[in-house]
Amino acid sequence: MSDMLSYNRGSTGTLVKIAFRNNFRNMRRTMFCVISVGIAVFFITFYSSAIKGMLNSMHEVVQVFELGDVRAVSAQYEAESEYSPVQYPVAEGKSLTIYMEEIKAIPGVRAVFPRIMAYATLQESVVKHANLWGINMNEETKVNNFNLTDRTDGLVEGRYPALDSNECAIGLNFAEKTGLTIGERLPLKTISAQFSDKMWSPVITGIFRFDYAKMDSETIIADFSRLQRLLVLDDASQQIVVYADKPEMSGAIALEMEKLLGPDDVVGQWNEQYWIVMMNMYEPLFYAIYLVFLVVACFLIVNTITMIIHERIKEIGMMGSLGMTRGEIVKVFFFESVFLSVIGATVGVLVGGLLTGILQDYPIRWAAAGESTFTELPAANAIFVDFSWLNLLQSWLMGVVVASLFTLFPSLKSAFVEPVEALRR
């Protein structure tokens, strides 16, 4: 009251001081508002960190197992990629070795690998079909961590196939379903680049677990050069996968690779993968969900400010009689709601940031080993929440701005209270 009696017109600092002290007049009501905004901002902070963690997991799966940062394939392969045809090698008619050396010379390229992915039919197994993945694991593990949870090469037992050997490695879940162990042979049939059937019976030398259901359940890893020979690809490859020093450089690298390739080949980047594009398109939907949390919390503050105005009608009349304009009275109530929003958002961000900071080193498992909740979704069985100071700042700003804007409307009600009528009540 002393602040109002000594009020000087145009003194915003005094208005802020009045609003701040008013919040302590009813602590129960203040705590309800703070807690409601805090809970909403906490959920926004944690939910956005979890979503970001899932997107990071998808990016990693796509980059490690599918496209690298940049991938080159033939146009025919791209058109029929769901069948994984090996009849259409990339840069056909050009030496694979020379072409890879040319790619390595592009600025920003960290590593270049040839790969093959083919379908295989198993001859003596309860599992009838699998993916045959030709890759040089000894070289690629120097660049990638294939186990997406433990950040290791993924080997559980044994070793990966040796160079140009009749050996293979299988996923842990695949081994459990088939009952196969290290040292046993795995008879299978695949189709060569000449459309002929190829029978192969490699020895199992290793069992891996990548914590990615599609690989652990359906994939047989073979050495690239051995599979290249088996499929009669000569000095060619079905795919060429490139890793950049930084993922942001993939666009520039892709442009340079297109200059080296002919019109019958296609260069794609990791961020052009179907699911990556889809999830980026859904990003506005995530923000809409965040806003729902906030809107629900804001209703409590709106109701609170409306109740305060009704309860303090006489006080509003006194403010007017002491010389406050309608705009200044609105500012007092608006500043009160801003204080509630700031304190609530700060509490929510602190709790949410603390939780995400702790959980960022502990995987959140959303599917058991070897299983997948969404079969086609390129995501690991476990994700890590993404702790980010930028995310905390965005959550805090969203909480403060949205809550403050919502409470502006009930604050305007105070401007329509006539001082004389207010004092009569």
| Residue where a domain terminates, one of 175, 208, 237 | 237
> Which domain-ending residue is among 181, 204, 237?
237
423 or 202: which carries more pLDDT confidence? 202
Say if residue 92 is in the same domain as residue 232: yes
d(CA 263, CA 75): 8
- Cα dist from 87 to 3, 125, 201, 219, whole Å: 84, 27, 22, 20
For residues 101 and 203, membership in a common domain is answered with: yes
- Contact between 203 and 155 under an 8 Å Cβ cutoff? The reply is no
Q: What is the 3-state secondary structure (H, E, C) of 131-161?
A: EEEECCHHHHCCCCCCECCCCECCEEEECCC
User: Which pLDDT score is estimated for 59?
Assistant: 87
Query: Is 128 part of a structural domain of the chain?
Result: yes
At residue 199, what are phi and psi to the nearest 5 degrees? -95, 135
Q: What pLDDT is stored for residue 126 in this prediction?
A: 78
User: Residue written as tokens 């929003």?
Assistant: 341
Q: Please indicate whether residue 102 or residue 263 has the higher confidence score (pLDDT).
A: 102
Number of domains the chain is built from: 2
* Residue where one domain finishes, among candidates 214, 237, 260: 237
Kindly list the distances between the CA atom of residue 52 and the CA atoms of 117, 280, 325, 387, in Å, as whole numbers in the listed order. 29, 11, 47, 9
For 385-419, what is each residue's pLDDT tens digit?
A: 888 898 899 888 888 887 777 777 766 666 565 65
Q: What is the dihedral of CA 240, 241, 247, 248, to 10 degrees?
A: 10
119 plus 191 within the same structural domain: yes
Averaged pLDDT for residues 67-88: 90
The single-letter DSSP state of residue 83 is G
Looking at the domain assignment, is residue 261 inside a domain? no
CA angle 189, 194, 196 (to 5 degrees): 35
16 pLDDT more than 90: no
Answer for the pair 203, 166: CB distance below 8 angstroms, yes or no.
yes
pLDDT in tens, 112-139: 999 999 999 998 777 888 999 999 998 9
Q: What is the pLDDT of residue 5?
A: 44
Residues 52 and 170 in one domain: no
Helix axes 274-281, 283-311, angle to 10 degrees: 20
Predicted local distance difference test score (pLDDT) of residue 373: 47
Q: Are residues 326 and 387 in the same domain?
A: yes
Q: Please check whether residue 69 lies inside any domain of the structure.
A: no
**How confident is the model at residue 418, as a pLDDT?**
60
Q: How far is CA 414 from CA 91, 326, 328, in A?
A: 74, 8, 10
Most confident range, picked from 82-86, 223-227, 377-381: 223-227
Q: What is the dihedral of CA 150, 153, 159, 163, to 10 degrees?
A: 170
Residues 120, 27 share a domain = no
Q: Give 421's pLDDT tier (boundaries 50, 70, 90).
A: low
For residue range 179-212, list pLDDT tens digits in order.
Answer: 999 999 999 999 998 888 999 999 999 999 998 9
- Asked if residue 114 and residue 48 are part of one domain, the reply reads no
For residue 221, what pLDDT is reported? 96
The reply to whether 21 and 109 lie within a common domain is: no
Structure confidence at residue 135 (pLDDT):
95
Do 128 and 183 share a structural domain? yes
Range of the domain at 402: 2-59+280-424
Of the candidates 227, 268, 59, the residue with the CA atom closest to the CA atom of residue 131: 227
